[in-house]
Structure 1
């Protein structure tokens, strides 16, 4: 199991890349794998062999306009970890922050 964060965008599409990025995000969402998109990255969770084809299809979709493509990929690979790490990693940090607040009395 792994959580991958990636950013894919055309390098020569002008000021806005929203249309191309939206197509990449659509492909990720249609994969059925757990995912989320923020202003900088799309995260997707699954096994290596199921995630990488999705990243490839998203990259190819961005490249269809004949653009040079930039792809940034980061992975947290956790053999044997249970599914749900895309959410539980955040939950653990939030729990720690809440515990820190209760220990110091800050709200």
Structure 2
């Protein structure tokens, strides 16, 4: 399964609203898990079995708790039994489809 999640504290008392230290604590948990993952500016994606993925999300959320009076967790899951390597596989299939579409468009332009 793939999980995309974002966890952030609120009630931090910081005038600038920055949460990068809290997010760094959560991402450190993800990296230490050993599971395939990718972090972007808005979400961290994580791949693995149900119990192991949710255990990492729980630990990452707990790592953010000390940074504020409350924590927000946004989570999206793609549950596809029997599939692995989807963290990269989904992106590769998308890029191939875009390349094929661009090739078809280029061929149409030369007709």
TM-score by length of 2: 0.90
Q: Distance in 1 between matches of 2:88 and 2:26?
A: 21
Q: Distance in 1 between matches of 2:8 and 2:24?
A: 10
RMSD of aligned alpha carbons: 1.2
Unaligned runs of at least 5 residues, structure 1: none
Residue 26 of structure 1 is aligned with which of 11, 16, 28? Answer: 28
Q: Deviations over 1:36-55 (max 9, x none)?
A: 00011000000001111100
Question: Deviation digits for residues 64-99 of structure 1, max 9, x if unmatched?
Answer: 235200000000000111x21000001000000000
Match of 2:106 in 1: 105
Number of matched residues?
104
- Identify the residue that residue 36 of structure 1 maps to in structure 2: 38
Where structure 2 has 5 or more consecutive residues not aligned to the other structure, the ranges are: none
Residue in 1 aligned with 2:8?
Answer: 9
Q: TM-score normalised to the size of structure 1? A: 0.93
Structure with higher helix content: 2
Greater Rg, structure 1 or structure 2? 2
